[in-house]
Every structure is written in structure tokens, then in C-alpha cells.
Structure 1
Amino acid sequence: MPDRNQAALDFLLTRRSRPAKTLTGPGPDRDTIHTILTAAARTPDHGKLEPWRFVVLEKPALKRAHALVAERGAALGLDEAKIEKEQIAYDRSPLAIVVVESPVDSEKVPAIEQTYSAGAVCLALLNAALASGWGANWLSGWASFDAEFTRDAFGLAAHERVAGIIHIGTETVAPPERPRPDVPAKTTWIET
């Protein structure tokens, strides 16, 4: 039998995202963020292309994104409730890390595998933040899919897109457990 890392397994079996609206300051310092990003970067990456990058949004950048959401939402003709819902996470979180899918031209590695790698970075970053003791949540929302907003708020290039935004801060309330998937119902065994 292989050596078992019971602490890591227990963490994964009990991990729970913290709603962004329940996060407050302080957030992690830069050394802690560096450690979290280093853990996230140890993700599966076929071809070692690193088809992703990070944009760290500290409080002033979050306030700017909050304002840009309102501007862009009005320009798109969205209703106020939809705009306000999008603004909440930018308003309350002390820190957010945008995982940017930044595909690399490759004859060997299909674009979809690069997308999967960026998604894996999001989960690894979320888990690293939670394992570090912070409250964290992986969000997106309509603004993260709007090219003009992502260019102006996060500096994305035309070929890039947001894979996820991980909000990190101090947890104010522990969320209740939620229903989990029925793993046997989602599993097929092939024996022959």
C-alpha cells in the first residue's frame, strides 16, 4: 500500500468554499499569496505550456472593477439588479486573483487541454487558499465573460479569457454543508 497523506485527504473530503459575500479583510499578505500561487501553478499542464497567468486584484483594483461593472452593465443595457449582484463580490472581498486562460499555439497540445489546465489552476488556487486558512470562493459572472470589461479591468489581451476569479479573505460566517453528488450514481465501472 502507498503512504497515505491523511491530513490532505481529510481536507479534500471536507473542503467547502466560502461565499464571497461573507468574506472581509484582512486578506493574505504578499508572501502568503506567493505561496498560494506557487501551489496553484503545480497543476497538470500537458506540454509544459503554462497556458494561464494570474492577475492579483488588491482593494483599489477591486473598487475600480466594481465601478467598471456598473459602467459596462449600463452600456449593455442590463438591469440594475443584475449589475448590483455582479458588483457584490468586488465590493466585499479584500483580494481576488483572476486566473487568465492564455492559450499558447501548439501543434501537440489541443486548445481544450489548455482550457482544462486553466480550470485546474483555479481549483488548485482555491484549495491552496482554503488550506492556508483563508475563506475563498471561485466565481465568474457576466462581466468576466465580457471582453471589453476584462480588457479594461484586468488587462486581458484579445486572445485571453477569464477562467475564474478566486476571492480570498477572512471568513465571517461558516457556511452550512450542502448536498454533495451521489458518487456511486455518477460512477461507471468497466471490468472487462
Structure 2
Amino acid sequence: MTFPTFTVSPLLRRGALLLALLVGPGVALAAAPTDGDINRLLSASRAQSMIDTMLPQILQMQQQQIQQFAAQRQLTAAQQDQLRRIQERGASAVRQAVSWQTLRPMYVDLYKKTFTKEEVVAMAEFYESSAGQGLLDKTPGLMQEVMVAMQARMQPLMADLASDIDRIVNEAPAD
């Protein structure tokens, strides 16, 4: 039995080589980051610190919601005690759900799915730089200023909205 032989033209070989050269670097750049690459980025960007800072705010919001619930009702001492236990259980569940030990594997997985190795390394290098550290240092203050500015912008809008609501509430109902 004989097999047919194929000859590849020099032009086709050059085209295949050019295609490999053009596609090859793109494939190499699209490599997935390693856990070490992502851990470096998470460390440089202070991800754990940001999570640790958010936890008290989340717990405070939860406590405020429970207090608002209780304020709207006449609760017996036994019900207040039950509500306190529910609050403690909820706070414990939130602490577990938002702990760095719980979230870090999720972060690693999501970063692997979202970013290439090149992107993760570049972000880590940025956050390790003085400019990146400056960004991390100044962002909380910036966000506080943004919130103050947004509240100032929203006050007139809220006043108009309250005026419209008052007008509707105070109108005599149509028969």
C-alpha cells in the first residue's frame, strides 16, 4: 500500500510561519495567571485590608436594620432577647462570609477567569509602585469627599422630591 505524498509550496510554508509568528505571541500573552501572581496582586492592592475595613460597616448596617425593625414594633422582653440572639447569629454569619479566609479563594478564582497573567503582573507592579501605593492611600479620602459632594448635589433634588410628595399627600382626594 502506498500513501500519497503532499508537497507544500514554499509560499504556503512562509504563510504558515508568518501565521505562527503572529498568533504565537498572542497565545503566550493570554496565559492564565498563577495563584502566586494573583496573591502578589492581592497583597500589593491591599485587598484583605479593604475587606477588613468593610466588615464593621456591613455589621453596622445590619444592626441599624434590626433596630429599625424593632423600633416599628412593640416587642416584649422575650422578643427583644430573641431579636438580640438573631442579631448575634447574623453578625457571626456575616463575619464568616466576609472573612478573608473565605473570600481569598473566590478572589483568586475570579481573577484567573477575568485577567491574563500579563494584566495581573502589570497591576501588581503598579500597586507596588509609589504611584499605586499613593492611590491606595488616598482613595478612601477621595471617596469620602465624593460622597460629601454627591450629598450636596442631591439635597436640592431631594427637597424638590419631598415638596412634590407633600403636595400629593396634602391634596384632597378626588371623589
TM-score, L = length of structure 2: 0.26
- Higher Cα radius of gyration: 2
Instruction: Report the structure, 1 or 2, having the larger helix content.
Output: 2
TM-score, L = length of structure 1: 0.25
